[in-house]
Amino acid sequence: MAICVSLQCLGLILLTAILLQTIAVAVSFMYFNKVLSTMQESFSRSSVSCLINANQLSESEVSKDKRSDPCWQVTQQLHYHIEKTMADRFQKEITTAMRDKLTGVLHPGVRGIPLPKVAAHVTGVSSSTEPPTAEGSRSSRGYLGERIRAWEGQRGLSFLQNMELRGGELLVSRAGLYYIYAQTYFRLPSTGETDWEAKGETGETKEEEGAQLVQYIYKKMSSYTMPILLMKSFRSACWPRGQEPGLFSLHQAGTAFLQPADRLFITVSNASTMEMDGRASYFGAFLVG
C-alpha cells in the first residue's frame, strides 16, 4: 500500500515538472518572439527612414562623420545606381529613335522601319532594252510626251506596299489623299566644238534651238477614258558644245486624291536622252490621309 502511494507521488512530481517546463518554454518563446518582432520593426523603420530621408545632401555638403554613416553610404549607392540606370536607358532610347529616324529618311523601307500603309517607290532600270513609246506632241491616247514603262518595283531602292506596278503604271488600291513625286534625269549628248563652229554661221543650228525638257505625271481613271494631267515640270537646256554631255534633271511633287483602281504614270519629252539610273530617275506615291 505504501509502495503504491509512493509511485503516485512520483508520477505527480514528474507530471508537474513536465508541465512547468512546458510553461517555461512557452513563456520563453513568446518573450523572444516579442523581442524579435520589436527588433524587426525597429530595423524596418530605420531602413525605411534611411531610404526615404528627404534631407539628402550631396557628397560635398556632408561632414566626415556623415560619410561614415552606413545608412548614408547605402542611400548614396542606391541613388547612384538608379540615376545611372535611368540615364543609360534614356540615352539608349534617344539614340535608337534618332538612328531609326535618320535611317528612315536616308533609306525608307529598310528593315525595322515601318513603311506607310500604302506606298510605292519605283526606280529606273539602267539595263532595260525597252525604249519609251514615242507619242509625238499629243497622241491619240490623250497624253503628251513619251511614256516611260521601264520601272523597277522590287529590287534595289524600290518597294511596293499595298500598291502594284503594271506596265509602268502604279495601281492604287485604297482611296485617299496621296503625295505623288517624280524625278527624271537627262543626259544630252555633246556635238563637239567643230560642229558648233561649222553650223554657227547659219543661225539655224540645233544648239541655238536648245532642248525643251518636260516631265508629266498623269492619272488614269477607270470611269474616264482619257488620262488626266496632274502635274508637269519643264526647263530649257542648251545642247552642250564641249566634249562632255549635258546633265539635267526635273523634279516635281504634289498631292492628289485618288480612288481604288486609279493608275499613275510618267511621260517625258526627249525620252531617248533619259538616263534610267535608279538613283536619278524614279517616281512614287504614298497615302497621307
Cell of residue 191, nine digits: 556635238
Provide the β-strand partners of residue 228: 219
What rounded mean pLDDT belongs to the chain? 75
**pLDDT at residue 183 tops 80:** yes
Domain range annotation of the chain: 116-287
CATH class of 116-287: mainly beta
Single out the residue of 31, 79, 28, 27 nearest to residue 53, CA to CA: 79
Is residue 136 very low, low, confident or very high in pLDDT (cuts 50, 70, 90)? Answer: very low
| pLDDT tens column, 216-269 | 999 999 888 899 999 999 888 777 776 777 788 899 999 999 999 999 999 998
Tell which residue, 267, 286, 283, 275, has the closest CA to residue 153: 283
Q: In 3D, which of 157, 145, 170 has the Cα closest to residue 274?
A: 145
* Dist CA 248 CA 238 (whole Å): 10
Beta strands 151-152 and 246-258 are: unpaired
- Kindly give the interhelix angle for 70-106 and 2-51, rounded to the nearest 10 degrees: 50
pLDDT above 90 for 160:
yes
Q: Taking the C-alpha atoms of 267, 273, 279 and 283 in order, what is their torsion angle to the nearest 10 degrees? A: 0
Global pTM value: 0.54
Whether the per-residue pLDDT at 140 is higher than 60: the answer is: no
Higher pLDDT, residue 249 or 109: 249
Q: Which residue has the cell 492628289?
A: 256
Q: Which range is least confidently modeled, 23-32, 39-48, 81-90, 256-265?
A: 39-48
**What pLDDT sits at residue 68?**
66
Q: Is the pLDDT of residue 117 over 60?
A: yes
Average pLDDT over every residue of 179-208: 63
Using DSSP's 3-state secondary structure scheme, residue 261 falls into coil
More confident residue, 21 or 172: 172
**Rounded to whole angstroms, how far apart are CA atoms 61 and 64?**
10
**Distance (Å) of CA 161 to CA 153, 182, 217, 287, 289:** 10, 17, 20, 10, 16
**Which range among 70-84, 130-144, 248-262 has the greatest average pLDDT?**
248-262
H/E element, 3:
helix 2-51
**Type of residue at 188:** L
More confident residue, 18 or 214: 214
SS (H, E, C) 198-240: HHCCCCCCHHHHCEEEEEEEEEEECCEEEEEEEEEEEEEECCC
If one compares 258 and 81, the residue with the highest pLDDT of the two is: 258
> Predicted confidence band at 24 (pLDDT cuts at 50, 70, 90)?
confident
Residue 101 confidence (pLDDT) above 60: no
Cell reading at 92: 539608349
The band of 121, judged by pLDDT with boundaries at 50, 70 and 90, is very high
Find the mean pLDDT for residues 87-111: 54
Nearest Cα neighbor of 232 from 143, 164, 153 is 143
